[in-house]
Amino acid sequence: MSQLTIALTKGRILKETLPLLAEVGIVPSEDIASSRKLMFATNRDDIRLLVLRGTDVPTYVQFGAADLGIAGKDTLLENGDDGYYEPIDLGISRCRLMTAGMVDAPPVTGRIRVATKYINVARRYYAEKGVQADIIKLYGAMELAPLIELCDEIVDIVDTGNTLKANGLEPRELIDVVSSRLIVNKGALKIKHKLIQPLLDGFSSLVAARVQRESEAASA
């Protein structure tokens, strides 16, 4: 029997993904939140789940270790799209990928120093603007970098903006709107089409229904 492997992103995305999976009929066989396991059986014998770091989900799907995956658009932009399709925007875990810098800082002339974990995104963004940028890779505490003059700007995820404000920073330019996306291995979509297509249809229906509800609420 063919089996589907779905790679999920741990953390906030996972919490918002599990209810969607339940709505399309996929329920883990045990409580993921209380387990240290990384692979989980489900109520369906033909589907198993992997729980991974977000940056690893596209890699697992790209190389076929997982047939489908759910990851943030920021991760997909950084990773590229070789080996997989991105058919559905699930609309969960919404935020913004932005540049940010010190409040009221004078504009930088010449080369700019940028700290970020999104190296590829930042390089493309500043190149498209015609700005020469030295990219500094950091893995966390991004807001600290401008404070100690390690960089002029950062590129990072912005949700409420409260962390930026608390550290004397402000959001500047929007690079992209981020939400979680369903991705599918290109080979698996052909070989396991009969298993995958019903899931794509199910997720698409969920998203369409939510968009309809939000539209009705906005016009009420």
- The torsion of the CA quartet 104, 109, 114, 120, rounded to 10 degrees, works out to 130
Give the pLDDT confidence of 19-45 residue by residue, as tens digits.
Answer: 999 999 999 999 998 999 999 999 999
pLDDT in tens, 129-186: 999 999 999 998 899 999 999 999 999 999 999 999 999 999 999 999 999 999 999 9
Quick one: pLDDT at residue 214? 84
**What's the token pair of residue 70?**
């759910």
What domains can you pick out in the chain, each with its CATH number? 4-93+179-219 (3.40.190.10), 95-177 (3.40.190.10)
In this prediction, what percent of the chain has a pLDDT beyond 90? Answer: 88
Whole-number Cα distances in Å, 215 to 87, 93, 94, 167, 179: 22, 19, 17, 36, 18
The pTM assigned to this predicted structure is 0.92
Predicted local distance difference test score (pLDDT) of residue 1: 65
pLDDT digits (tens, 9 = 90+) for 53-68: 999 999 999 999 999 9
Q: Are 69 and 81 in contact (CB under 8 A)?
A: no
> Whole-angstrom Cα distance, residue 201 to residue 86?
14
